[in-house]
Chains A and B, each alone.
Chain A
């Protein structure tokens, strides 16, 4: 008898907990249909009041267009603008805590494409509208900024941001157009030292380098973020070396065989800058292009 009762109670418990996992009821809202960068078609509430961002780029974009007040949750990597750091955290880049997201009751979640496939799936399953922004190049960022403006109803803010963005790029574009092809600077950007890695043509950073008028020596490598043999770097003899790996210019000149590289000989090994400017497909990408231009053709000096 007791055994039957216990089994029955157990089955009930399983049902109750199972039901608790279903999506919460939502009041009917006006929605807008958005196609995101992954081709997903999502119904997004008009002017969402509570937005969670699991993407540092999206956080920057939201604040830039003026929707910062609607952001209720960010990741631990969302460090710009400074106000974003005060917001509740839902996790880091690849691990987003669904409970924390649910607790914030967002109307919309904006994610980035890299390594967040699982996150997006989980959010969808919980019934949250998720939009993914994944700009492959600098122009893609412009579109994302515009989209964020539309979704949040901050079209004006978006337009202002874009004006600034385009303005900076226009200056660089003009300057770059003046440079003859054989005066172009060859660049090696190091994103990891051990193992030695750089970016190839398909990556966001590579597009920024090209925009700034540089020639990426890693252009033809097989993958967006590729290992490269140190021999090849020496062989290709870059004019400029950009260090985004934690290595310092002194480390680089100490490397066997590297002291002969043009960049090392003339002291054009750059480090110590804000790496987020180069790796975030957000509103500051234009600043990043400016920074690269300064390194390639301007008077940039290491801090």
Chain B
């Protein structure tokens, strides 16, 4: 579905690279989380995946599309992005916002079709915002707003959903709600998911495939069991942790500094 082939990226040509020689393959239907310390390059990786940033060297490929300039709309029909912060300042209603998600399919002049209608209804339903369709998004709570943004992304009917810390500023109820929705889509419809997360335990709750990034390159890439060993996590984050398994759930516990004496 998505492939990074020996990708390096620096903001300034010849400057300090944010990512170096990174290779990664995400298969269709996978649900993968990207984690790592601050400044490791996670958000940059996501933006390279969506094509918003172009690699300084190496290539990023999305199956089935020609990743060229003309392919921007093509990409938008297959890949949707949910950013961490949406700078929406106009009072579009939830429904109007979701409809904007059809832009890659309709373009400037395309007429509104049954397909568009269906995609939007589904997106609104799945994200549980059908009751809020006429509310201006600027008046919603944090959780409701993020769900509306996800609805817009889902209205694009993507095959790959990219998420950049989508619940960073939301409480646990909203966090769980949103990831249940996403996990449900992955399970029931095969939506490929690549999410950058800060919260290790949230990743542990929902994601099978874990990619740990450190200092611009992949530290560990594998299943939860492979990635979330105390050794791996402690080295990746430079902080001692221990892991505990509770039935099927794995929990990572960062250790407290003991003040001796």
Q: Do chains A and B touch in the complex (CB under 8 A)?
A: no
Chain B positions near chain A (C-beta within 8 angstroms): none
